Structure 1
Amino acid sequence: MAVIRFLKIWVVGGSALICSTVVCAATAPLAVSNLSPFSLLRALPEQRTAQAPVGLQWELSGMIANHFVVQSAAAEMLYLDGQTDRLALSLRYGFANDWDIELTLPWLHHSGGFTDAGIERWHKVFGLPNGDRDRYPKNHLRYELNGQGQVSRLERSTQGLGDIEVALSRELLGSDSAHLAASIGMKSATGSTQQWLGSGTTDIFALLRFSGRYPDDGPLYWHGQIGTTWAGESPLLGDAQRRTLWFTGLSVEWSLTSAWSALLQYDAHSGISRSHLAPLDQTAGMLSMGLRWRASEKWSVDFGFSEDVVVETAPDINFLLNVRVALDP
């Protein structure tokens, strides 16, 4: 598909391009999701600024994620080898001063990908563990969970619309240096379970977001969130799937100049299943880093990537792309 080829052209090469615009403060977290084939089935909202937008804001965001996990324990087996691409269009509209509504339309693509060789070279150059990658075929697709009363398997490339999300937020507190907002939302069951594009069930989530600046006129911006998801029963996840999940995150942006910033971000969520397999049972953790070039008050460009700091609970590496444009009200 043309949009997937476009995404690959810009991301390959060890860095990713992310564009974003934030009203007023021109600051926002990186657009990061856990694209592990099972975690992406759940409604685990990305971080964003707590400040309500003025008028309409649209965002085109993309990620390329490389997976490699082979584990077995007790009567369970997990095999994840492949690449997941996600391209999502989000529309966010601010109204009545402190309210906003957001709609997210994701497009997913599972395949063998093209990043295995580059990641193996990266591990070799920096002396990082390779997880026996060299013993398995390169650019191969196989996602499989066997156990917990469930056998789920994907061995052919798929692409299509994922689960659509809608959220309603209200800014509860706001000042020149700090903002607090509450949000509720729903993930629908629009994605195909047979193609691993959706969970086949509806999830509901609620969360608090906060944003601030330190000192009041200083170079440090921060954002965070904490929330809960009440998930439906997915046919892909087996009998031991967790139906109540928590998620949290913290993002820091250091303004180096009027145009450039450095970003550091951490995202975490509870394990997807009560499993003997650590990638499904453990708390997931991702660390992201990036540079932001602020072209104007309306848009900016970020370069960044993320890693699974809690090993195998998230993709080995993510490359990120995000375009966000704020339109005049």
Structure 2
Amino acid sequence: MASASKGARPVAPRGAASVGALALLLASAVTHADPAADTAAPFTIRDQNPLLAGFGLPVAMPSRAPDRFAAGMVIFWGSTALAQEQGNEEILVDAETREARLTLQGPISDRLGWQVQLPYRYTGGGTLDGFIDSWHDIFGLSEGVRPLLAHDQTNIVYSRSGVRRPDISASATGLGDIQAALGYSLYASADSAVMAWLSVDLPTGDEDKLTGNGATDVSLVLSAQHRLNERWSAFGQVSGTWLGESDLLPIDQDSVAWSAMAGVSVRAWRGLSLKAQLDAHTAIYDSELDILNEAVVLTVGGDYRFASGWRLDLGVSEDLAVEHSPDVVFVLGLKRSW
């Protein structure tokens, strides 16, 4: 198999260092969010790596206890094309992924809240390859192995010492792992909020379809937000996830993964806010392959709050740690409280 990562490898932050840096950024952010306006609204992002998306790493959780029932839907549309080889490991990932994640949340008391997420995932061929090739051409960006791969096809193969698993060449779709969470507000004021969450990822997905990891994962999450002034807000999150054992890959798996998020938003005009957000997690597998290692993802975009109460999110994610996560992921979200 041709290798896109053999020899000189992209310089990227290691997982522990990445999470540590973001944790420090979180600590500086926990010091301004108006409960009514909820100005700090992170993107609901998680790593869309086809081989890791089934694990229960948490998305951005609320930092205030919800005072009303709320429902939202976020859609991730991503593309990954890479070939990597290190030692006795080889991997080829050429696929498009789409995930629709329904989120329901509500209050239990003044300080307690609940949240349930129901994801539906698709992994297979798609339509983004031509657009991404044109984008790379316009800006003179490296295309990696994309020119060597057929457009809009599905091919996911991992090999270790001659053992190939998974070996996927057809599209698959289905319900992912349902996540249920309980949260407790540790601190809340007009300007700042901190909330702790216990999240459980239930094995309702199918690891053969890459919609789950076939195990139960449990996360402890600390989420915070702070309004810096009338226009600027900061938000962040740190979490630890205890991972159930998965049979997806013939390779040793870590039992704990750490993740962190930090970002800022600025109110640009009326209901329009612009946002930039960093998300990172440590490695889940004991592997030298970049795509199975730590990831650092940057998402930029914004949200618009309509007078009717609906909030629309639009964003695009890029892999800052090159080839550690999908090349590009488009994010579209819609949410409202009642």
Moved more, 110-119 or 26-35: 26-35
Alignment of 1:243-262 (within 5 A): 243-262=255-274
List aligned pairs for 1:27-176, cutoff 5 A: 27=39, 28-147=41-160, 151-176=165-190
Structure 1 partner of 2:216? 202
Q: Give 1:186 shift.
A: 0.7
SS of residue matched to 1:120: helix
Query: Could you tell me which residue of structure 1 aligns to residue 197 of structure 2?
Result: 183
Instruction: Tell me, yes or no, if structure 1 residue 264 matches structure 2 residue 273.
Output: no
Three-state SS of the structure 1 residue aligned to 2:147 is helix
Determine helix, strand or coil for the equivalent of 2:103: strand
By how many angstroms is 1:237 displaced? 2.7
Contact 2:251–2:286 under 8 Å retained in 1 = no
Contact 1:221 1:254 (8 Å CA) reproduced: yes
The answer to whether the 8 Å contact 1:64/1:85 transfers is yes
2:221 aligned with 1:221: no
1:230 and 1:150 mapped to 2: Cα distance? 27
Match of 2:314 among 283, 296, 303: 303
Task: Indicate conservation of the 8 Å contact 1:26/1:297, yes or no.
Answer: no
Distance 1:163 1:23 in 2: 31
Structure 2, unaligned runs of 5 or more: 1-33
Shift of 1:273: 1.1
Taking the aligned partners of 2:307 and 2:159, their CA distance within structure 1 comes to: 50
Give distance in 2, aligned partners of 1:252 and 1:73.
37
RMSD after superposition: 1.5
For 2:129 and 2:194, the matched residues in 1 are separated by 41
Q: Secondary structure at 2:42's aligned position in 1?
A: coil
8 Å contact from structure 1 (residues 150, 236) kept in 2: no
With structure 1 as the length reference, what TM-score do the two structures score?
0.89
3-state secondary structure, aligned to 2:208: coil
Q: Is the contact made by 2:48 and 2:78 (CA closer than 8 Å) also made in structure 1?
A: yes
Q: Give the 4+ runs in structure 1 shifted more than 3 A.
A: none
Tell me which moved more, 150-159 or 68-77.
150-159
Higher alpha-carbon deviation: 176-185 or 252-261: 252-261
- Sort the Cα spacing of 1:162 and 1:156 in 2 relative to 1 into closer, same or farther, 3 A: same
Q: Distance in 1 between matches of 2:228 and 2:104?
A: 29
After superposing the two structures, state which structure 1 stretch, 107-116 or 257-266, moved more: 257-266
Secondary structure of the residue aligned to 1:39 is coil
1:286 corresponds to: 297
Residue by residue, what CA displacement relative to the aligned partner does 1:70-97 show, whole Å, maximum 9, x if unpaired? 0111111111101010011111011211
Report the 3-state secondary structure (helix = DSSP H, G, I; strand = E; otherwise coil) of the residue aligned with 2:130.
Answer: helix
* Contact residue 92 and residue 102 of structure 1 kept, 8 A: yes
